[in-house]
Structure 1
Amino acid sequence: MSFARPQHVLALALAVAVTAIAGCTSNAPAPRSFQEATVQPYRLDSGDRLRISVFEQPSLSNTYTVDQAGYIAFPLIGQVAARGQTMPALEGAIAARLRQGYLRDPDVTIEVDRYRPVFVMGEVGRPGQYSYVPGMTAQNAIAIAGGFTSRGNQRDVDVTRKINDRVITGRTTVTAPVLAGDTIYVRERLF
C-alpha cells in the first residue's frame, strides 16, 4: 500500500481547482463581428415599433410593430417582411408594394418609435427587460437594472447577440456598446 506525498496531493488539488475554474469561463471573448455589428446600419427585428409615414396619406401613416414572425401588417398591402431589413430597405419595399396599383409615387419614411428591449440578467439588483436607448453600453444597462450586486463581476460581462440570423455569446468589457435585443449577463466574481 503506497501513500501519496503531501506535495503530490497539493499539486493534484491545485490541478483540479485550476480545471474547475477554467470550466467556469466557457464564454470566449466576443468575436470581431460583435464590434462590427455596433457600427452597421440598424437591422429591424421582432419588438421594434416603427413610425411609418406616407407623404400626403394620413390614413397610412401610423405606428406599426414588427411581430414575432418578423413582419408588419400594413394597410392595403398586407404583411411586409421587416426582420433583418434596414429602415431604407423597408421604406423601399413598402413604396414598391404601394406602387402596384395603390399610389403613383409613394414617399415612405420610417423612424424607430421604440427599440426592442435589452435583457439584463445575473448579478444585478433587478434582473429583467429594459428599454434600449441608442448609444447604450453594458454599464448603462446594468445601472438601469439596479447596478451590480456585491457578488457581481464589474470588469466584464457576457453578451448574447443575434448577428446575421446567428445567436452568438461573447465576453466584453462593461464599457462596450450594446444593441437592441442584446442579453447582458453579469457573472459572479470568483474572489
Structure 2
Amino acid sequence: MGARTGIGLLIAILSLGLTAFAPQSVSDYRLASGDKVRIDVFGEAALGGEFVIDANGRIALPLIGEVQAAGLTGAQLQGAVAQALSQGYLNQPRVTAQVLTYRPIYILGEVNRPGEYPYLPDLTVLNAVATAQGFTYRANTRRVFVRRAGSQVEEAQPLTADARVSPGDTLRIGERYF
C-alpha cells in the first residue's frame, strides 16, 4: 500500500468515525478498577473530589471511608454515596457522580503506533486504529483480535465499521498473508 492509499484510508476511517455512528449511551457503563470518577455533594465541597477506583473496586471518600464502586453504574454510585452519607452524616444528601477517565485500551500489532490509548465513549475499532496512526502496509484489514477487559481469551472478529471497543480492551491487528 502506497503512502497515498494509507493516507486515504486514514481519512476514510476518521470520517466514518465522525459521521456514521450514532452516539451510544454510557449510562449503563459499569465502573471498574482504574476508572477515575468525580463525586460532588451539593453544599458540601469538602466531601467530594476526584477519585480513582482502586484494585479492590473501591473509592475512599472523606468522612464515610471506602465505598464499593466497581460493578456499579454512575447512577448506582451516586445512590451508594448518598446512602452512606445519610447514615448519620447528612440529611437527604444530593450527590452527583461522573466518569472523568475510563480504563485505557491497548492497540497492538500491525498499526503504526502500537501502545496504550485513552478510551473515549463510542469508540470503534477503526477509530482506535486511526488513533494509533493507521494500519501498516502488512496489516490484515479484514479482521481484528480482541481481548475484552478481564478475559484471557482473544477472539477474532471481522473488522467492520460498527465494531465497538470497551474500556480496558486489547486490540491486536494481525499480519496479512499474501
Structure 1 spans left out of the alignment, 5+ residues: 1-37
Aligned partner letter, 1:137: T
Aligned partner letter, 1:45: A
The match for 1:105 among 74, 86, 92 is: 92
Root-mean-square deviation (CA), in Å?
1.8
Question: Are 1:133 and 2:120 matched, yes or no?
Answer: yes
Structure 2 spans left out of the alignment, 5+ residues: 1-23
Question: Are 1:153 and 2:140 matched, yes or no?
Answer: yes
Shift of 1:166: 5.1
Is this contact kept in 2: 1:51–1:64, CA < 8 A? Answer: yes
The equivalent of 2:164 in structure 1 is 177
- Aligned mates of 1:52, 1:62 — CA distance in 2: 5
TM-score, with normalisation over the residues of structure 1? 0.74
- Could you list the per-position Cα deviations for residues 140-160 of structure 1 after superposition, in whole angstroms to 9, with x for gaps in the alignment? 111111211111111120111
- Aligned mates of 1:167, 1:103 — CA distance in 2: 44
TM-score, with normalisation over the residues of structure 2? 0.79
Is this contact kept in 2: 1:50–1:63, CA < 8 A? Answer: yes
Aligned partner letter, 1:67: D
- Aligned mates of 1:78, 1:137 — CA distance in 2: 37
- Aligned mates of 2:53, 2:39 — CA distance in 1: 12
Identity of aligned residues (%): 46
The equivalent of 2:56 in structure 1 is 69
SS at match of 1:185: strand
- Aligned mates of 1:128, 1:155 — CA distance in 2: 21
Shift of 1:56: 0.9
- Aligned mates of 1:167, 1:62 — CA distance in 2: 34
Is this contact kept in 1: 2:48–2:62, CA < 8 A? Answer: no
Matches within 5 A, 1:9-24: none
The equivalent of 2:6 in structure 1 is none
Matches within 5 A, 1:109-120: 109-120=96-107
SS at match of 1:97: helix
Alpha carbons of 1:167 and 1:94: their partners in 2 closer, same or farther (altered >3 Å)?
farther
The equivalent of 1:190 in structure 2 is 177
The equivalent of 1:24 in structure 2 is none
- Aligned mates of 1:149, 1:99 — CA distance in 2: 55
Aligned residues: 152
